[in-house]
Amino acid sequence: MNAFWIILTGSLVATCCSLLGCYLILRRMAMVGDAISHAVLPGIVIAFLVTGSRDSMPMLIGAGLLGVITTFLIEFFHRYARVQADASIGVTFTWLFAIGIILISVFAGQVDLDQDCVLYGEIAYVPLDLWITEGNLNYGPRTVWTLGFVTLLIILFITIGYKELFLTTFDPAFAAAIGFSTSLWYYLLMTAVSLTTVASFESVGAILVVAFLVAPPATAYLLTDNFKVMLILSVMLGILASAAGYFLAVWMDGSIAGAIATVAGIEFTLVFLFSPTKGQLLRRRQVAPARQPEEALA
């Protein structure tokens, strides 16, 4: 049963991250998830200083607020300081991460503030945190319910705002011309990314969240030019990586999150090499025959 809960948790994270990752890939902002996972450290410390508690909920609230602030700062630096998006991401998350380290050293140096449990969670512990009511009813791991709710929110968000998100991603100038607010939908998308990242990395770890935000969407991008198909393929690839990665970790007796991320990387490598339309090996085979007549004439 533990295997089921772990694979289900990985699949829920894969679904959320893969759907949003498709938009991030096309906007050339794939590393926003990594930036958020580091930039939320000040929020964790401030939440502890305000509440005096190391419970996960206050820390997640603080981390979530800092995640939203991070996305606003990234866009602010990109738009008003005229720096590239990747540069604004790098400046924002390193600056906020450094502030978090200073806050810990100054105000919480003598306290066992385990920010690692929030930033680098372990998916193997998911079956241990059960939701048990006062009447001793066991509803399963809390994480599954939390991520299930977040997954429904993300699917609902993309379903309702599909046209707006599509246009502001592919052609923001046209979207603005017909009355869509590109800034509004950017911030809504970044808020969704922040929510997903913060809700996920306590359970599965920041590295796995970043892997799901990038690898399945990038793999799907190499397989199709249809955006709807890309969304579906990215989710399927993420779920496949979750299941295969778990069994790989069991076989190797290693890290589950690391194995899942490794499988996601293997999926990308295989598609990169053998994709019917963009695979490097197949493209070389198609180019080679075209050169033969020229070589014969020479």
Q: What is the CATH number of the domain that holds 126?
A: 1.10.3470.10
CB 187 within 8 A of CB 49: no
Alpha-carbon gap, residue 235 to 215, rounded angstroms = 11
- The 3-state secondary structure of 34-76 reads HHHHHHCHHHHHHHHHHHCCCCHHHHHHHHHHHHHHHHHHHHH
DSSP H or E stretch at residue 132: strand 130-132
pTM for the model: 0.83
Within a domain: 292: no
More confident residue, 55 or 244: 244
CA 273 from chain center: how many Å?
A: 24
Q: How many helices (H) and strands (E) does the chain have?
A: 14, 2
Mean pLDDT over each residue of the chain, to the nearest integer? 81
Give the model's pLDDT for residue 266: 93
Return the CA Rg of the chain.
21
Alpha-carbon gap, residue 187 to 183, rounded angstroms = 6
- 139-167: pLDDT as tens digits: 778 888 888 998 999 999 999 999 999 99
Within a domain: 296: no
Hey, which residues does 251 pair with through a beta bridge?
none
Per the structure, the count of domains in the chain is 1
Alpha-carbon gap, residue 40 to 97, rounded angstroms = 7
Within a domain: 295: no
CB 15 within 8 A of CB 213: no
Within a domain: 297: no
More confident residue, 118 or 129: 129
Within a domain: 293: no
Alpha-carbon gap, residue 27 to 37, rounded angstroms = 19
Within a domain: 229: yes
Listed residue (28, 238, 9) closest to 127, CA to CA: 9
- 216-259: pLDDT as tens digits: 999 999 998 899 999 999 999 999 999 999 999 989 888 888 88
- 65-81: pLDDT as tens digits: 887 888 888 888 877 77
Hey, which residues does 72 pair with through a beta bridge?
none
Greatest mean pLDDT range, 46-60, 71-85, 170-184, 192-206:
170-184
Alpha-carbon gap, residue 7 to 4, rounded angstroms = 5
Name the residue range of residue 229's domain. 2-287
Longest dimension (CA), the chain: 86
Within a domain: 230: yes
Residue 140 φ then ψ, to 5° = 90, -175
Within a domain: 119: yes
